[in-house]
Structure 1
Amino acid sequence: MKKKVHYFLTVLALLCIQGMIAQTKTVSGTVTDASDGSPLPGVNVLVQGTTNGAQTDFDGNYSIQASEGDVLLFSYLGMKSQSATVGSSSTINVTMEEDAEALDEVVVTALGIKRKEKTLTYAQQTVGGEELTNTRDVNFVNSISGKAAGVEIRKSSSGPGGSTKIQIRGSKSLNGDSSPLFVIDGIPMVNNKGSQPGLWDGVDQGDGLSQLNPDDIESMSILKGANAAILYGSQGANGVVIITTKSGKEGAATVQFNTGITFESIIDTPELQFRYGSEGGTKESWSTTRGDYDSNYVDDYFETGVNYFNSVSVSGGNEKTQAYFSYANTTSSGVTPMNDYGKNNLTFKQSTKLFNDKVKVTSNILLAQEKTDGRNRAGYYNNPLTGLYWFPRDRNFNDFKNNYSVPNLARNTNEMNWFIADHLQSNPYWLLNEESQEDKTSRVIGSLNIEYDISEEFKFQLRGNYDYAAKEFNNQRNAGGNTTTVPSNGRWRYEKYDDTSVYLDGILTYNETFGEDFTLSALAGGTYQKTTFGNGVAVDTGGSADGLQYANEFYFQNLLPVVQVRSTLDSRVEKQSLFANATFGYKEMLFLDVAGRNDWASTLALTGNDSYFYPSFGLTAILTEMFDMPQEISFAKFRASYASVGNEIPYNAIFPRHSINSDGSVNFNTTKPFTDAKPEIITTTEFGLDWRFFNNRLGLDLTYYNINSQDQFIRINQPIEDYTSFFVNAGEITNKGVEITLSGKPIVTEDLTWSTAFNYSNNTNEIVELHPDTQNIGQGGAEGISIRMVEGGSIGDIYARKFQRDDQGRILLDDGNGRPLRTDRELFGNAEPDYILGWSNTVNYKDWGLNVQVNGKFGGLVASQTEALLDGYGVSERSAVARDRGYEIINAVQNGSAVTQIDPFTYYDAIGGRNGIDEPHIYDRTSVRLAQLALSYNINVDSIDWVKNASVSFIGNNLFFFYKDAPFDPEIQQATGRNNVGIDNYNLPSTRTYGLNLSLTF
């Protein structure tokens, strides 16, 4: 690894030296408005084929480094772009003419349709592809955080390749999914999550997004509400993220090469004590005799992870055919031993015009291979962190690290060497070396798009897509480990399955202008999609009785007859739809948008409700076109919209299946078939403003929304007929919130520009109604802490045990033993933040560039089972501080008398452990962090003919916290599914990354 780093830095230094000796000159001039000769501030000036750019100052002046023969490109919102070739003169003055079409910025919307932004009747926000890659996060989706109002990102604790939870405008379903739909070039993609960890055990097996190459992404358009995503039907009920990939460009071939390296380190391990050990050989460290024990073994466990990024792309073509090709490789060694990740991506995209340019055919294929070894676990069982953190301080950890196994000569196997037999903890290094886990994914996404220009008004588009992912999970636990989960001959868990999606659509579009005042843009079409998830085989030899004939032989022929190789099928869903949309315009100042879609879903087959229709209506008024407004107001728009969308029920609810257990026995279904099921209905009302000021130097986008979700899918656990439970459509949830984006360019000079944007959002969730037969739906938890959905509450409510207190707020102590008393579980608060803030900054000074992202989440709660058990085992630093002073400080009362001091063990034994008082281990979720930083320098490479552009960047992610209350990163999730929101249960600590990236254009 050192050789690789040395080679990387040597090449980087040589390029820098070559760039510094290159010869260029300063080209300057003035850009003016052709209509009145006034100077134009903020005009973008770019050397074609490079990233070398500048902007005009308040007087319209600019200055840029260029060479003779270079082409300068001048662009400005509302003006026709200009170009000029650099000659012998060092002065180039430019006049720019108004371009009415340029004022209508085009954005990508539902089904990949491009529309003028000013005509949109709903909230939409775009994140550029470079914003996803400029700091090289291995899980690139995390880079969206803070860049779009109303979008919340939470990452898992599993390390490289782990899944990411994305939620737009809060949770909308009690039992269904609230994740948005992801779309690639207009076509829905499969973003299935693998298994998720729970309280006791498990790993996060990643998701479909992790398999994409971020360098292939041109932009991400986020359609936030059902209003925006109506054309995707029930799939888009929770919002849509549209990924537009890069395409070939007309002209000579351009090669883009990126290489980078980042280093990753732990930033917030728990505060542990190493001066008090155990007494009498116990597993807890509750001695009151101070010692000097080795603390390095916890720090030594964690390593410095190294991430390598390499990608190359080629783009080019002529006026008929354009092509794009790319290859990318990502490799990572995590911050824990034996954790490695690798990903390879290959992309080819081609567009060709045929039949006098009336037909355009675009084909695209994306290939990905992903492999992860030793994913980090969460929960108690088989998690190295429990044994690592709890190990008694007076013992020698290195004895167990260096000799994690001892031979069993009678069986010719090894056994775990650990100081105690405890179902909750194991030797960390046994788990790393003797309980391997590997998961692999191979994926192909192929698509074909045929566009036919029937006439100037009519256009027809036909698209097809095939998305296939083959997944394999292999967990081999050698004999001799923790007997709670590993029988005497070992345990084998193996899964191999496929996820497949076939998608077809046809869309007819019509655009016409009637007279001088009226316009119509309309489309109609239909879709067909068939998805099959989890289709394969699985085996689990079990955690109690032996399922293997011979120890540590993990293959099918070694399975005992009691173990069955099971066929698996998570879901098979077919959906057909028809849709239409029309936008009526009047004088480019009023736009009325009407849309509708009808779905036929197999998940509702034979219920009589398998066909369901939902409409959408929207209105936009361009106030600056309707009224004379002050010159300072460049653009003003008001929008309003309404939509009603169905959210389908889960697969296999209508006729639940029987299943086969691992021993071959039948697990009979006990839930009554849901033969009168109907889809959940999500209704959204949205109002918004989009205002720009001072020649578009300042922008304000404000949105208010009200989302109502009815007919929730709920299981009632009560006997009915011959069953023990049944399903109903009932319940109501509301989400109300405000989103604000404030953007601006405070500084625009010849050498210095500063662009900034604030994204603010808040969401209030309420469970208005459940069902008379169930007033409490579980959402996970950890021992004493539970996450519950209760009528009148909110999704994510935390119920926990508090201190009993008197009227003065003093803690009540037991009259006899003096232990703090606790309440039953009661509502403590909610895991969701009150509001979210993201602050993005881009500063350019000559050849230097700086990108800074600061993210903050304010309010909400997180609960830590980790901290509770550290207290119970006497290994937390606070428990040692109390022993140092001889007591813990407390504001309490016992037998009517005030108490200010309490015995440390009495206090921490009461609040710690698996079932203690939860209150001390619930924290404010508020945190403010430096989420991203990229400092770049454009290297002058004019003396190198074959290099068009070169830049080097120092990059960093999650560098530090400005503020946080919790003793861990509150945004790290045990799981990214529906359950266990806001729970820390021996999650991998948060990490920071920092490194270098080199970008070359040929």
Structure 2
Amino acid sequence: MKNNYSRLKWVALIIIGGILFFLSKTATAATATPLPLQQEISGVVQDQNGLPIPGVTVTVKNTNRGTVTNLDGEYSISAPANGTLVFSYIGFKTVEIPVENNEEISIQLEEDVSALGEVKINAGYYNITQRERTGNISRVTAEEIELQPVVSPIQALQGRMAGVEVTSGGSHPGMAPTIKIRGTNSLREEGNYPLYIIDGVPINSTPVESSSLMSSSGIDPLNNLDVSNIESIEVLKDADATAIYGSRGANGVVLITTKQGRAMGTGLETRIYTGVASVPNRLELLNTEEYLEVRRTAFENDGVEPTESNAFDLLLWDQDRYTDWQDFLFGGTSETTNANITFKGGNENTSFRLGSSYFSQGTVYPGDFDYQKVTGNLNLNHRSKNDKFILALSVNYGVDVNNLVGNVSFNSSISFLPPNAPAIFNEDGSLHWDEWGEAGLDNPFAGYFNRSTTNTNNLISNIGLSYKLLPGLEFKSSLGYTYYNSRELRKQPRRSYNPSDAIYHRSSHLTAIRDSWIIEPQLNYNKSFKDLNLNFLIGATFQENNDFSERFQGDGYASESLIGNIGAAENITNAIRENTEYRYAAIFSRIGLNWDSKYYLNFTGRRDGSSRFGPNNRFANFGAVGTAWIFSEEKFIKKIFPFLSFGKLRGSYGTTGNDQIGDYGYLDAYEATIGPGGLYPTGLANPNYSWEVNKKLEGGLELGIIKDRIRLGTSYYRNRSSNQLVGYPLPHITGFTSVQANLPATVENRGLELEFNSLNIKTESIRWESSINLTIPENELISYPDIEQSSYANTYRVGSPLNISLLYDYTGLDPETGFYSIRDVNDDGSYDYQDRLIVRDQNREYYGGINNNLSFKNFSLQFLWEFVKQDGRLTSFAAGTASNSTELILSELQGESPYQQISQSIASQTAYNRVLNTTFPIRDASYIRLKTLSLSYQFPGNLLKNTGIRNAQFFLHGQNLLTITNYDGMDPERPGFGLGNLRTITGGLEINF
């Protein structure tokens, strides 16, 4: 494929170069063509109450020339004397006014809720309106995400979209959140990531590897984006929306569009906010007196004499000391600050936006740890005077530094230290070892002075070119380049560890580099034949990704100050370097038919080629069909349902693929032996495996009532993913652990999505809008022939979801021992997977969000409630060992309790470990959370009129302020996983000049 791919690449570059040369000549010639006589027109745009409307788009009809009104509703534009001006704004009816030699045109716009359906949304290779779309596309705008104090834009989607499930990666800044679009399709975790596209450029969505505290979730590759520079985020879900992306769209597509410049004039925008974050919850743990009573009871129940070795907390440690380890571990306050400055401007033909931002966030843990990010962005748009040639440049660059402790797990286990445990630090700040050593223990903060510093650089750039060759025929091309560099250094000084241990100064190094380029030429044709409108698109994709990773360790540094200086290390060990190359090529096409603005039919096709498959299976075809009927336009519907302002039925069916597997899996792999001149096999070839295929079916209904003041949307989907690509485990006698193969398994995701929007109140001074989204998902392994004979017999169950746990049958407390007991199904005296007969679904039963926007004169209030129905596991009800417990077990001291007898014996610990894998600790972990709360005040225009300030706004923002739940753990969003979301309160000011 490599030679063919290279030829195609160079042919494409030559063709594009030739076309651009032709276009430049044509554009030059066109510039010399006399244009119609132009005149300057100005005016004011107001609403029906006489108030100015800022941000109204004013364009010259049948051209791309336009501008927007300022804060006072004023505009100025050049137009032909015989031309027509078009005034459009979201929520108002579009108005066309002939120029007719007038130098001043002022108008009042009439509100039209139904106009919201005409908002353009990004569908990837084309734009469409909400009214006309046949696919399922969810959208959030800048107003909903820009003020949220989050590192990654994915975090801002929580609770805002039906079918989109976002879970926090943890409490450390920079950790990658998990996003699932309509469930889990693949048996492989890495096969479930969606496609990220930023300004037309695809981004590798796999979290970046880390050896720091972020290792559990990885580093989010979107961290370096400036959240406040995002104009909108669209999520494509069904076949009609995603099939045009072929193998890259199997798990959904996330389209991120950054902000553009101003059409006329210049402006300066500034925004700054600062605030604090803290852990919103605490476990109810035992105090010292309660803890010691439980410990003494354990020895009494066991009939064992306490000694210094088994009861150091009773005999060696201070019986009056009390430390709130939760407060010590995560009781701190994390400060956060964000500052943005943007300069934008332009004229009728060229506009630009140049911005920069700074973001910092601390941690709630003891120590001086923080995350800092600096970003820069540039958007440049230019069109020729004859409106035929258009150029769009987008550049986003970000640098961040994450300073964390290394090799210390700041997790909830430290919270369960005995409350009378010794101090962690000496008075001079060094780690305290003596009392811990007397008990035969290590200081739990061993490694505290290790430092892990992760530096990342991320460049995302794209140039879009288009030229109108003929009326209705347009050539477009997108050329993108991305570069991501992550360098992580962990320093491990000797003072982090027990002086009695033979440990030397050490360093760990990890480098990950990702770079890619993409070229996508396209032809678009749009033609109307009376009532029939035809839109035709054909294009090609040529993409290449290169991934490089390197890791090694250095030790034997002479002093702490030299740690990390490779030249000063005595030894370099565990050195590994990997370099992979991925090539991808495709052709794609879309035909859109629209009859009388009522009947819509779309056909999408794509042929993909991936270097991750063997020569016989390298190419595959994918496609979809989507249709819609706006039945509210039918005369008989209008007569029967006069209150119905909008009604649409839509449906789609199609296939997408998946090639998210490792590179070179179809080839034998070898590595060099330690001794010179030798090779040994590390990978087994399988040239016959092929693409995973995801077949998507969807039906939807959309309704608008009372002039669209109430809108309702419902969708039913069924996605089936088959021909599963996994690393199939092999017996040890083969000499290999696994081989890449297709398994005869089919996974189905089906569900119901509901969306409701209403304009509750609309008066001269008050406006109240509400929206609700609800998702009821189901996931099922519907087929896996001979799973009982496969290596996944103890992992999955046909007829059950993929995300399950197999549990023992809990039979209550043993009347003889008082310990937990479980059923030995086959009476063989041992407990293994043959005894795990209970299947527990770990997925959410349903989830959604309730959003409200209220405005009263210059005040605005927005709040979002996120809700989830699920269960979780409780893991903090052990009692009797040298570890603290929750107050739940105090009932055992009174003799009435569902918990086992308090004991510190090995038998009780064994019983406790087993009962964790039963239904006994399962609890309702459902919750309702006040996810965001924003209050803002817009300074009146008359106060700013003589200050040079166009707009000024003060705002307060809260996140994760309140959680209503019956769950006894730390965070119900991540039940059983310790800390999660922080409660954040910020305040700031926005000033625009």
| TM-score, scaled to structure 1 | 0.81
The reply to whether residue 496 of structure 1 matches residue 511 of structure 2 is yes
Provide Cα deviations, 1:828-883, integer angstroms capped at 9, x if missing partner. Answer: 51221011120011000111110000001102x33355x26787544013366246
Corresponding position of 2:349: 320
The reply to whether residue 995 of structure 1 matches residue 981 of structure 2 is no
SS of match in other structure, 2:191: coil
Question: Is this contact kept in 1: 2:201–2:481, CA < 8 A?
Answer: no
TM-fit CA distance, 1:139: 3.7
Alpha-carbon distance between aligned partners in 2 of 1:369 and 1:173, rounded to the nearest angstrom:
33
The reply to whether residue 683 of structure 1 matches residue 711 of structure 2 is no
Deviates more, 1:247-256 or 1:346-355: 346-355
The reply to whether residue 832 of structure 1 matches residue 843 of structure 2 is yes
Question: Is this contact kept in 2: 1:646–1:679, CA < 8 A?
Answer: yes
TM-fit CA distance, 1:443: 1.5
Provide closer, same or farther for how the CA distance between residues 776 and 217 of structure 1 changes in structure 2, counting only shifts above 3 A: farther
SS of match in other structure, 1:319: coil
Alpha-carbon distance between aligned partners in 2 of 1:773 and 1:486, rounded to the nearest angstrom:
49
Q: Structure with the greater relative contact order (CA < 8 A, sep ≥ 6): 1 or 2?
A: 1
The reply to whether residue 968 of structure 1 matches residue 970 of structure 2 is yes
Corresponding position of 2:390: 360
Corresponding position of 1:330: 359
SS of match in other structure, 2:712: strand
Question: Is this contact kept in 2: 1:775–1:790, CA < 8 A?
Answer: no
Alignment of 1:748-827 (within 5 A): 748-770=762-784, 772=786, 788-803=795-810, 805=811, 811-813=812-814, 815=816, 817-823=817-823, 824=831, 825-827=836-838
The reply to whether residue 635 of structure 1 matches residue 646 of structure 2 is yes
Alignment of 1:26-175 (within 5 A): 31=48, 47-48=53-54, 75=89, 77=91, 79-81=93-95, 94=108, 96=110, 104-111=118-125, 113-175=126-188
Alpha-carbon distance between aligned partners in 1 of 2:599 and 2:889, rounded to the nearest angstrom:
69
Question: Is this contact kept in 2: 1:489–1:551, CA < 8 A?
Answer: no
The reply to whether residue 272 of structure 1 matches residue 300 of structure 2 is no
Corresponding position of 1:389: 415
Alpha-carbon distance between aligned partners in 1 of 2:54 and 2:45, rounded to the nearest angstrom:
16
TM-fit CA distance, 1:589: 1.0
The reply to whether residue 857 of structure 1 matches residue 887 of structure 2 is no
Question: Is this contact kept in 2: 1:461–1:507, CA < 8 A?
Answer: yes
The reply to whether residue 303 of structure 1 matches residue 332 of structure 2 is yes
Identity level (%)? 20
The reply to whether residue 945 of structure 1 matches residue 951 of structure 2 is no
How many aligned residue pairs are there? 881
Q: 1:431 aligns with which of 442, 447, 453?
A: 447
Question: Is this contact kept in 2: 1:479–1:486, CA < 8 A?
Answer: no
Corresponding position of 1:700: 712
Provide Cα deviations, 1:243-283, integer angstroms capped at 9, x if missing partner. Answer: 11111121111211110012001112333222224664457
Q: Which letter maps to 2:402?
A: T
Provide Cα deviations, 1:102-133, integer angstroms capped at 9, x if missing partner. Answer: 9644211022x112333322211110012112
Provide closer, same or farther for how the CA distance between residues 601 and 955 of structure 1 changes in structure 2, counting only shifts above 3 A: same
TM-fit CA distance, 1:747: 1.0
Question: Is this contact kept in 1: 2:147–2:228, CA < 8 A?
Answer: no
TM-fit CA distance, 1:226: 3.3
Alignment of 1:163-312 (within 5 A): 163-175=176-188, 176-195=190-209, 202-275=215-288, 276-277=291-292, 280-281=307-308, 292-301=320-329, 302-312=331-341
Corresponding position of 1:7: none
TM-fit CA distance, 1:489: 1.7
TM-fit CA distance, 1:417: 7.9
Corresponding position of 1:890: 898
Provide closer, same or farther for how the CA distance between residues 638 and 150 of structure 1 changes in structure 2, counting only shifts above 3 A: same
Uncovered stretches (5+) of structure 1, i.e. residues with no partner: 1-26, 32-42, 52-64, 84-91, 407-414, 542-546, 780-786, 806-810, 892-900, 973-981
The reply to whether residue 645 of structure 1 matches residue 661 of structure 2 is no
Provide Cα deviations, 1:158-191, integer angstroms capped at 9, x if missing partner. Answer: 4212211111000000014212111112221233
Q: Which letter maps to 2:54?
A: Q
Alpha-carbon distance between aligned partners in 1 of 2:958 and 2:240, rounded to the nearest angstrom:
37
Alpha-carbon distance between aligned partners in 1 of 2:710 and 2:113, rounded to the nearest angstrom:
21
Alpha-carbon distance between aligned partners in 2 of 1:924 and 1:539, rounded to the nearest angstrom:
45
Alignment of 1:483-562 (within 5 A): 488-514=503-529, 516-533=530-547, 535-540=548-553, 548=556, 553-559=563-569
TM-fit CA distance, 1:904: 6.0
Q: 1:405 aligns with which of 425, 431, 456?
A: 431
Provide Cα deviations, 1:513-572, integer angstroms capped at 9, x if missing partner. Answer: 11x221100100000111112x1421036xxxxx54757544333555672532223x42
Corresponding position of 1:34: none
Corresponding position of 1:625: 633
Question: Is this contact kept in 2: 1:197–1:204, CA < 8 A?
Answer: no
Provide closer, same or farther for how the CA distance between residues 258 and 332 of structure 1 changes in structure 2, counting only shifts above 3 A: same
Provide closer, same or farther for how the CA distance between residues 457 and 856 of structure 1 changes in structure 2, counting only shifts above 3 A: same
Provide Cα deviations, 1:770-791, integer angstroms capped at 9, x if missing partner. Answer: 3536667679xxxxxxx93333
| TM-score, scaled to structure 2 | 0.81
Question: Is this contact kept in 2: 1:362–1:448, CA < 8 A?
Answer: yes
Corresponding position of 1:932: 932
Provide closer, same or farther for how the CA distance between residues 871 and 657 of structure 1 changes in structure 2, counting only shifts above 3 A: farther
Alpha-carbon distance between aligned partners in 2 of 1:290 and 1:499, rounded to the nearest angstrom:
54
Provide closer, same or farther for how the CA distance between residues 30 and 186 of structure 1 changes in structure 2, counting only shifts above 3 A: closer
The reply to whether residue 568 of structure 1 matches residue 568 of structure 2 is no
Q: 2:376 aligns with which of 324, 330, 346?
A: 346
Alpha-carbon distance between aligned partners in 1 of 2:113 and 2:327, rounded to the nearest angstrom:
62
Q: Which letter maps to 2:327?
A: D
SS of match in other structure, 2:242: helix
TM-fit CA distance, 1:194: 1.9
TM-fit CA distance, 1:662: 10
Provide closer, same or farther for how the CA distance between residues 469 and 670 of structure 1 changes in structure 2, counting only shifts above 3 A: closer
Provide closer, same or farther for how the CA distance between residues 28 and 526 of structure 1 changes in structure 2, counting only shifts above 3 A: closer
Alpha-carbon distance between aligned partners in 1 of 2:283 and 2:679, rounded to the nearest angstrom:
43
Corresponding position of 1:616: 624
Alpha-carbon distance between aligned partners in 2 of 1:599 and 1:421, rounded to the nearest angstrom:
63
SS of match in other structure, 1:130: helix
CA RMSD of aligned residues (A): 3.8
Alpha-carbon distance between aligned partners in 2 of 1:290 and 1:888, rounded to the nearest angstrom:
31
Q: Which letter maps to 1:470?
A: N
SS of match in other structure, 2:723: strand
Q: Which letter maps to 2:490?
A: N
TM-fit CA distance, 1:793: 2.0
Provide closer, same or farther for how the CA distance between residues 733 and 82 of structure 1 changes in structure 2, counting only shifts above 3 A: same
Deviates more, 1:961-970 or 1:329-338: 961-970
SS of match in other structure, 2:470: coil
Alpha-carbon distance between aligned partners in 1 of 2:90 and 2:516, rounded to the nearest angstrom:
42
Corresponding position of 1:958: 960
The reply to whether residue 744 of structure 1 matches residue 758 of structure 2 is yes
Alpha-carbon distance between aligned partners in 1 of 2:992 and 2:819, rounded to the nearest angstrom:
69
Provide Cα deviations, 1:481-535, integer angstroms capped at 9, x if missing partner. Answer: 5689997224422112311111110110000011x221100100000111112x1
TM-fit CA distance, 1:99: 13
Provide Cα deviations, 1:953-978, integer angstroms capped at 9, x if missing partner. Answer: 11110111122424121324xxxxxx
Alpha-carbon distance between aligned partners in 1 of 2:676 and 2:421, rounded to the nearest angstrom:
46
Alpha-carbon distance between aligned partners in 2 of 1:914 and 1:485, rounded to the nearest angstrom:
33
